[in-house]
A and B are shown apart, each in its own frame.
Chain A
Amino acid sequence: KAGVTQTPRYLIKTRGQQVTLSCSPISGHRSVSWYQQTPGQGLQFLFEYFSETQRNKGNFPGRFSGRQFSNSRSEMNVSTLELGDSALYLCASSLSLAGANEQFFGPGTRLTVL
Chain B
Amino acid sequence: GIQVEQSPPDLILQEGANSTLRCNFSDSVNNLQWFHQNPWGQLINLFYIPSGTKQNGRLSATTVATERYSLLYISSSQTTDSGVYFCAVEHNNDMRFGAGTRLTVKP
A interface, CB within 8 angstroms of B: 33, 35, 37, 42-45, 48, 55-56, 88, 90, 92, 97-105, 107-108, 110
Contacts and interface: CB of A to CB of B under 8 A. Distances in A.
B42 A104 contact: no
Contacts of A45: 94-96
A43 B86 contact: yes
Interface residues of chain B: helix, strand, loop or mixed (majority) = strand
Contacts of A105: 35, 42-45
Interface residues of B, number: 22
Contacts of B99: 42
B3 interface: no
A103 B94 contact: no
Nearest to B44: A105
Contacts of A92: 43
Given A42-B99, A43-B97, A45-B95, A99 B31 contact: yes
Interface of B: 30-31, 33, 35, 40-45, 48, 86, 88, 90, 93-100
Contact of A101 (B31, B42, B97, B100): B31
Contacts of A100: 30-31, 90
B41 A110 contact: yes
Nearest to A97: B93
Nearest to B1: A59
The 9 closest A-B pairs by CB, nearest first: A43-B97, A105-B43, A102-B48, A99-B90, A45-B95, A56-B93, A108-B41, A107-B42, A88-B41
Given A98-B90, A105-B42, 16 more contacts: A35-B97, A42-B100, A43-B97, A45-B95, A48-B95, A90-B41, A99-B30, A99-B90, A100-B31, A100-B90, A101-B31, A103-B45, A103-B88, A105-B43, A105-B44, A107-B40
